[in-house]
Structure 1
Amino acid sequence: MTQESVEELTDENTSKFVQTKDWNIHYNEAGSGPVLLMLHGSGPGATGWSNFGPNMKELSKKYRCIAVDMPGWGRSDACPPEKRDHVEAALQILDALGIEKAAFLGNSMGGITSARFAMAHPERMSHLITMGAGARSTLFAPAGRSEGIKVLQDAYRDPSPEGMRRLVDIMTFDSAFATEELVQQRSNSATSRPEHLQNFLDGLRGPRPVLDFSPLATSEIPALIIHGRDDRVVHFENSLNLVSIIPNSRLVLLNQCGHWAQVEHPKEFNQLVDGFVAGN
């Protein structure tokens, strides 16, 4: 891929679909080389492109970047909560695309999926990279829903531009990132798939799963844990918990950074990812 084509990457010209065993899954792809599988967070209107599009423009110069809309989000198949299994979905994506091993980049929910995938299928993962992933401990983090989680869930009930403006604002440290373009993009994406919204809300009625990440204590996969010091959605203590468990891991804690490290600090984020993957 030429430098010129990298700079011209758009959602439309990188858009693809793959039929896996259980789902028709949309993803954006650019570049060649080692595979970076990018998994988005759980917010309404979230897609692989909305979470990672700008990062792909730089990282695709050296890597094959695949930013997935997980089942239940974006342009991928709807998925009722009882059938939501993103670890299985990620495995099916790798199989359908003929990818033996990939580095996983997961934001928030995508980071949880990536950590769970590392426990279930370590032979298929080369590197584990998480940003703002929830790996609960209770020393300092709120016992109940965080301020950001409350806003996120409210945005599923009100995916209007006003609801999305509140969501984007709480996801970031600097309100300048809550641009009208991003707000409208997220609102349009959410309202275009009302079944995704309802399925997510239906899932809130069930018991909250308790995730055990202790098996990562024997993991040999190198891990880069990134978190914003000012994250109001997932407290950075979650990443302290992860880095305390995983033997071959390191934590980067960014000041003046909210829940979207890859959005607010894209240059540093891209350099961290490249240096980590190339050096391990």
Structure 2
Amino acid sequence: MNTQASNPEIGRQIQCGPILTNYHDLGSGEPVLMLHGSGPGVSAWANWRLTLQALKGDFRLLAPDLAGFGFSEFPVDMQFNRRAWLDQIVAFLDAVGVDKVHVIGNSFGGSMALALAITYPERVNKLVLMGSVGVPFELTDGLDKVWGYTPSFENMQSIMKIFAYNQALVGDELVQMRYEASMRPLTRAAYESMFPAPRQRCVDAMAHPEAAVRGIRHPTLMVHGRDDKVIPLSTSLTMLNWIENSQLHIFGRCGHWTQIEHATAFAQLVQNFLKADAAA
């Protein structure tokens, strides 16, 4: 059996309704919930490993694997949808004893961060949305390939190259790690059921009504790579227009991996935003 010592993706476990949730709990200070994206073989640790190390001196960082991803365990007949993931997130916050959090959401995780802020506004302090889904957009070829992934080393390598602007980041070790993760039987079956073609309907299912997004009053930071081939920059521009108290930082020479391609700058940006006076 894998242990945290042999696999850093495995952290602690806590029961969240029907889902035994694998999560990481690092640092101390104001709590920050970190929600990962939906790429094949993803986990909270794979998404946030650099950010966790950079911010653990200032915040209590809570990074769960949502059901169907990473090492969380879930019922075999589970239906994967926004409501089910939101229920898991709320149960997770209750289980770890946190009433209110800052939330950082990456891509798919951004839609879930928005869902939490819209449905349970009292549980959210500030929002950070990185390359976020959650508003209408036309399915990109990159996202279609990501969600349509079938397991092989070559296919994973192709997906990783879509994510990264800097192709040097896509080494064989990273590709092999994500490929092996995508081959775990439980998560492989879950992934294949999540985003069936035609995938525009999956984009639409993760989008929130305009009025709901416009109703968000939380201080919100959007971060996006100018060269993102997975989630278009237009999503963050839309949210900048719809969310009253919001700002947008765009990284040039950056794809869908802002937290990896510009790890130091991203962490500093987030730290400054979360620590700033909300009224400023």
TM-score (norm 1): 0.88
What is the aligned counterpart of 2:178 among 167, 183, 186? 186
Q: Secondary structure at the match of 1:46?
A: coil
**Matched positions, count:** 264
Match of residue 100 from structure 2: 101
What is the aligned counterpart of 2:152 among 132, 138, 160? 160
- 2:143 is aligned with 1:149: yes
What is the aligned counterpart of 2:68 among 65, 72, 85? 72
- 2:232 is aligned with 1:241: no
Kept after mapping to 2: 8 A contact 1:28/1:66: yes
Q: Distance in 1 between matches of 2:229 and 2:89?
A: 28
Note the residue ranges of structure 2 that are not aligned, 5 or more in a row.
Answer: none
Q: Secondary structure at the match of 1:82?
A: coil
Match of residue 171 from structure 1: 163
Match of residue 124 from structure 1: 123
Describe the superposition over 1:178-218 as per-residue Cα deviations: whole angstroms up to 9, x where unpaired. 122211111111112x2322233223348532531422323
Kept after mapping to 2: 8 A contact 1:106/1:114: yes
What is the aligned counterpart of 1:259 among 239, 243, 256? 256
Q: Secondary structure at the match of 1:169?
A: helix
Kept after mapping to 1: 8 A contact 2:8/2:45: no
Kept after mapping to 2: 8 A contact 1:151/1:166: no
- 2:36 is aligned with 1:36: no
Q: Identity, % of aligned pairs? A: 30
Match of residue 201 from structure 1: 192
Q: Once superposed, what is the RMSD of the aligned Cα atoms? A: 2.0
Q: Aligned in 2, Cα 1:115/1:125: closer, same or farther, shift over 3 Å?
A: same
Q: Distance in 2 between matches of 1:14 and 1:276?
A: 29
Q: Distance in 2 between matches of 1:70 and 1:272?
A: 25
Query: How far did 1:160 drift?
Result: 2.1
Match of residue 217 from structure 1: 214
Q: Secondary structure at the match of 2:79?
A: helix
Query: How far did 1:81 drift?
Result: 6.0
Query: How far did 1:135 drift?
Result: 3.5
Q: Distance in 2 between matches of 1:81 and 1:46?
A: 19
Q: Distance in 2 between matches of 1:133 and 1:22?
A: 27
Describe the superposition over 1:30-54 as per-residue Cα deviations: whole angstroms up to 9, x where unpaired. 1111111111111111100000011
Q: Distance in 2 between matches of 1:171 and 1:256?
A: 12
Q: Secondary structure at the match of 1:49?
A: helix
Match of residue 228 from structure 1: 225
Deviates more, 1:226-235 or 1:171-180: 171-180
Q: Aligned in 2, Cα 1:12/1:82: closer, same or farther, shift over 3 Å?
A: closer
Note the residue ranges of structure 1 that are not aligned, 5 or more in a row.
Answer: 1-8
Q: Secondary structure at the match of 1:164?
A: helix
Q: Secondary structure at the match of 1:225?
A: strand
What is the aligned counterpart of 1:46 among 42, 47, 58? 42
Q: Distance in 1 between matches of 2:210 and 2:46?
A: 28
Q: Aligned in 2, Cα 1:153/1:21: closer, same or farther, shift over 3 Å?
A: closer
Kept after mapping to 1: 8 A contact 2:164/2:256: yes
What is the aligned counterpart of 1:23 among 19, 22, 27? 19
Query: How far did 1:152 drift?
Result: 0.7
Kept after mapping to 2: 8 A contact 1:154/1:163: no
Q: Distance in 2 between matches of 1:104 and 1:11?
A: 25
Q: Aligned in 2, Cα 1:17/1:162: closer, same or farther, shift over 3 Å?
A: same
Kept after mapping to 1: 8 A contact 2:20/2:74: no
Q: Secondary structure at the match of 1:64?
A: strand
Q: Distance in 2 between matches of 1:48 and 1:278?
A: 23
Q: Which amino acid aligns with 1:178?
A: V
Q: Distance in 2 between matches of 1:150 and 1:13?
A: 26
Q: Aligned in 2, Cα 1:10/1:62: closer, same or farther, shift over 3 Å?
A: farther
Q: Distance in 2 between matches of 1:245 and 1:11?
A: 41
Kept after mapping to 2: 8 A contact 1:232/1:259: yes
Q: Distance in 1 between matches of 2:152 and 2:32?
A: 32
